[in-house]
Each structure stands twice: as C-alpha cells, then as structure tokens.
Amino acid sequence: MASRPLHFIWLLDCSGSMGINGKITQLNYAIREAIPEMRKAADDNPGAELLVRAVTFSAGAAWHLAEPTPVHDFTWDDVHTHSTTDLGAALRMVSEVLKTPPMPGRALRPVLALVSDGLPTDDWRSGLRAVDATPWGKRAVRVAIGIGEDSDRAMLKEFLANPEQEPLRVNNPKQLVAAIRWASTVAVATASTPTVGGDHQLAKPLDRAPTVTTGPAGGDDDVW
C-alpha cells in the first residue's frame, strides 16, 4: 500500500519568559533528542510519510522550518527567545497550510504539537477558529505541553478541543524531554492508525501519559 503524507507541525513558544532558567535551551535539546525516535515511529508506520515543520511565536510568528521535511532528512536548528506570546499569529499561519490545497486531498491526519510556558498576548482564539475552520485542522491529532506552573492550562485544554484529553504539564528539564519524546512518537502512531474500511480515526484522547520523574531533577535549579 502506498504511503500517505502525515504532516507534523510544532508550534513553539519563543517568548521572553522561555529564556528564564534555560527553558529554551532545554526545548532545543529535547526536540533534537526526539528526532531518532520520530524516525523510528515513521519506520514502524510504513503507511505514513512523516513530514515535519515548525512555527515559532513571540512578537508575531514565523516559520522556523517552512517546508514539509521528510523525517529522515529532518535536523534541528536552535530557536531563540524574543518578547511576547503571539500564539494567535502562529495558529493563523498554520491554518493556511491546513487548507486544501496546499494540503493534499488524501493524507493522514496531521499532528499539531503546541509547547508554551505562559499566557498568549494576542487574540489566540481567532487563530484557533481559523485552524478549526479547515477540514484538516478540525481532524488533526493535537498535543499540548505546558512548561511550568505559569503555563495557561485553560488555553492548552481549549487548543486540544477534546474534553477527555489533558495537556501535559512539565516542571523540569527531564520531564520536558520525556514529554517531547512522547508527543513525537505516540501522536504519530495515533495519526497513522487505520479504522475498519481504511479510513482513519477521528481525534481521540492520547491516554498514555509519558513516564517522567516528578519533582526536581537534580536540584532546585532544575525546577521551572
């Protein structure tokens, strides 16, 4: 059976607060560490052609990796912090690539993976409505990771658009690495899962939480 494209899009908070206590450094490290497992997830799901890209948001939004990149060609260039948290701008950018075209008519459900440590500073709900207005956005597998106690759980929960699904909350670097790895692999497997008749499942809870060490990982300096 020919493989179908599976678009995996990171939405990464690069606001100024991500520069505190090395959060942005740990985010870059966590994504880089997850790449081998993303490749393995793709190999384990031969019906999926895994394509990765990333958008960052701070004062506005920008494509960090604009072209859908085959996961075996995917490498990571570090992202850096700026000022505010314009999540809505990032969601509107993503909504444009979830339209058909440029998305093909036949594909696996895309994965939208949001990572944030704070509260959006723009009209993020209008961006979310733009995503939901696209057929692929509405069907996407969504993952939300909140970094630290200041992350906006209500926003992350609304992004997920699934009352049975909870955002992941991470409080130290070890937990972030585990959560990024989990999002990179479990979400891909979920998006690749066929139902009877060959179609693909509508969004369902990702109910296997990552195994992480709760509490400090190596001392108070590692707590966000």
User: 131-173 pLDDT, tens per residue?
Assistant: 999 999 999 999 999 999 999 999 999 999 999 999 999 999 9
In a domain, 223, yes or no: no
Contacts of 148 (CB under 8 A, 6+ apart): 23, 117, 170, 171, 224
Q: Are 165 and 154 in contact (CB under 8 A)?
A: no
The neighbour count for residue 44, using CB atoms within 10 Å, is 12
CB atoms within 10 A of CB 3: 14
pLDDT band at 207 (very low <50, low <70, confident <90, very high): very low
What's the confidence (pLDDT) of residue 56?
Answer: 98
Look up the CATH number of the domain holding residue 13. 3.40.50.410
In a domain, 161, yes or no: yes
Count the neighbouring beta carbons within 10 Å of the beta carbon of residue 182: 21
178-204: pLDDT as tens digits: 999 999 999 999 998 754 333 333 334
Question: What average pLDDT does range 24-28 have in this prediction?
Answer: 97
- Cβ(113)–Cβ(8) under 8 Å? yes
Do the domain assignments include residue 95? Answer: yes
Are 207 and 131 in contact by the 8 Å Cβ rule? The answer is no
Within a domain: 67:
yes
Instruction: Indicate the Cα dihedral angle 222, 145, 185, 194, nearest 10°.
Output: 160
Contact by Cβ (8 Å): 128, 98: no
Q: Is residue 222 part of a domain?
A: no
- Tokens for 96, please give them: 């444009």
How many distinct structural domains can be found in the chain?
Answer: 1
Residue 221 lies in a domain: no
Domain with 191 in it: 4-215
Q: Is residue 224 part of a domain?
A: no
- Mean predicted confidence (pLDDT) in 101-122: 96
Nearest to 188 by CA among 78, 48, 24, 28: 48
Q: What is the pLDDT of residue 223?
A: 78
Residue 113 domain-assigned (yes or no): yes
| pLDDT tier, 1 (very low <50, low <70, confident <90, very high otherwise) | low
pTM of the shown model: 0.89
Q: What is the mean pLDDT of the chain?
A: 89
